[in-house]
Amino acid sequence: MKYLYLLLCTLLGFDVMAQTSQPSEFTQIRQELQKKWPDNRTVNLVFHGHSVPSGYANTPNVKTLQAYPHQVLEAVKEMYPYAVVNSITTSIGGENAEQGAKRFRQEVLPHHPDVLFIDYALNDRSIGLERAQKAWEKMIKEAQKQHIKVILLTPTPDLTEDISDDNSPLEQHSRQIRHLAHDYKTGLIDSYATFKEKRKNGEDLKMYMSQSNHPNEKGHHVVAGLILNYFFDEAKWNEYHQKQTMKIMKKVADWQLMNFENQVRKGSRWANSHAYWAWTNATMYIGMAEWAEMSDDPKYWDFLLTIGEKNQWQTGPSIYFADDICIIQPYAMLFNKYKEPHMIKKSVETLDTLIANPRHNSLSYYADGSHSRWCWCDALFMAPTSFARIGKTTGEPKYFEFMDKEFRITYDSLYSATDSLFFRDTRYINMREQNGEKVFWGRGNGWVTGALTFIIDHMSAQHPSRTFYISLFRQMMKKISKLQDKQGFWHSSLLDITSYPMPEASASGFFTYSLFWGLNHGYLEKEEYLPIAEKAWNALVSVVHEDGKIGYVQPIGADPKKVDMNDTEVYGTGAFLLAATEYVKYLKHTK
């Protein structure tokens, strides 16, 4: 919330904001909302305006329950369960402020608003600034005579206008509304400035619109979030974000369960890419297990148990191929919950065989037998973390000794100390992107930072190599944080955003997870990294489809590729659930 104040002050000028009614001045309304029967009373929120608060989507279709008045009501009721709250919409599609002012006394004031919202600017272009100002002033004065708290809204976008134009009609009306809020000391919801900032940061505003001048549910959610600053203090926001994040996690997890078998059957051009034991699914299982730990619904653990039984608790066919042993990680997580020895018996045998019969092949990608070692950076997520989990579970140091030795060999082969990033494999060391930069794959480095969190988490505090992994984690996150785009995403190619302008959700998911994990464990400084992490989380949520599908996930591959909102993969779900888990933990720690 403090960040919002700073943003608005920056956008509008401090003097204007200082003179408007701030959310902190709504303490009385918040107190009323907290009262229990028989001391409580009805609190009326009245939304007066045109088609947007009415809920128009694609004219003439009206989606009342997706519009911001209803979203505000839902959120307020969730956080104030004892309150009696009415959300009353007196808006009429196609109406301007003059028309709204004419019926104000007869159709608005009789509802006895505690808080009145006015939103007319989109249609006020037809009557001009002067006539609009007189109409707004009339409504504000009449409301304030009745001691009603008033909040003015600047418009949501109209895609037929250039929102970046500082002299567009909507910008002129927005400026006028800001001055009205200043002059009459009302509240202000600057929707236009918020969407303008999103466009400035590279977002496509079409994703927030159902048609050129009507927001979709996601667009209304933006406005509702701004309004809720008048009803939630920081503690309430914290609690609300926890609940909302859990809802999103459930939606994502449920979509994954519903679509899992189809993804297994569909597979890809890569053999065994979606087998029940495959690395793709194993990554998703890890995120799903973290969600299962938070959820009170046993179906997620049941799903994971079913997978273990289908696999007969075995790894993939090639124990020396890192991807084929990633499945050990969810097995270890299931064992830690259920304590059934058969769940990790075969995993322990597999890792013991690897330790007893190590390979000594070159890590040069095309060398004979190179893939029996960890010769590509994603392998660091697949294999070392499996050794770390079994090492922690059994208490046997040999697993960490083997892991540490092999990890450092891969580190020496693929890590660029100059860039604080990993090459995907030796083929990429001398490759260059179109802009002349080195090729550093987004998800490839996401695999590594995710792996480092698991290794550090499971390694004994007394282990002599632990400081190496912590130092490496900090080096990488410092560099990666500087590569975040304006929206909060990372891209398929970390150093060539021009060639790959679209976001990439699996890399962004792993980096978001790593940021919040680092903050939660004290390895990253809050002042420097929290704004980056929160921006990343908000960006990540924006690629979740309404049904829970994660978009912008690069398909299976070894290098940067172009993606779009409809591209998804199981490991994208896993990365998202990991990120969400750490975000919820962060919110709980900051109560």
Residue given tokens 């809802």 in the structure block = 247
378 has catalytic annotation: yes
Do the domains 270-589 and 26-232 match in fold? no
CATH class assigned to 270-589: mainly alpha
pLDDT at 591: 61
520: exposed, middle or buried (Cβ count in 10 Å: 0-12, 13-18, 19+): middle
Q: Does pTM surpass 0.75?
A: yes
Query: For residue 48, which of 18, 69, 63 has the smallest C-alpha distance?
Result: 69
**Residue 409, SS3 per DSSP:** helix
Residue 121's pLDDT band (boundaries 50, 70, 90)?
A: very high
Alpha carbon 128 to chain centroid, angstroms: 40
CATH class assigned to 26-232: alpha beta
pLDDT at 8: 36
Q: How far apart are CA 189 and CA 152, in angstroms?
A: 6
**Contacts with 192 (C-beta within 8 Å, 6 or more apart), sequence order:** 121, 154, 155, 156, 157, 163, 170, 171, 174
pLDDT digits over 386-429, tens only? 999 999 999 999 999 999 999 999 999 999 999 999 999 999 99
pLDDT digits over 456-505, tens only? 999 999 999 999 999 999 999 999 999 999 999 999 999 999 999 999 99
Residue 9's pLDDT band (boundaries 50, 70, 90)?
A: very low
- Domain ranges across the chain: 26-232, 270-589
Alpha carbon 269 to chain centroid, angstroms: 30
Q: Which of 378, 404, 425, 496 is catalytic?
A: 378
Q: In the predicted model, is pLDDT for residue 222 greater than 50? A: yes
Cβ proximity of 164 and 129 under 8 Å: no
pLDDT digits over 532-564, tens only? 999 999 999 999 998 999 999 999 987 778 899
Query: For residue 307, which of 345, 336, 333 has the smallest C-alpha distance?
Result: 333
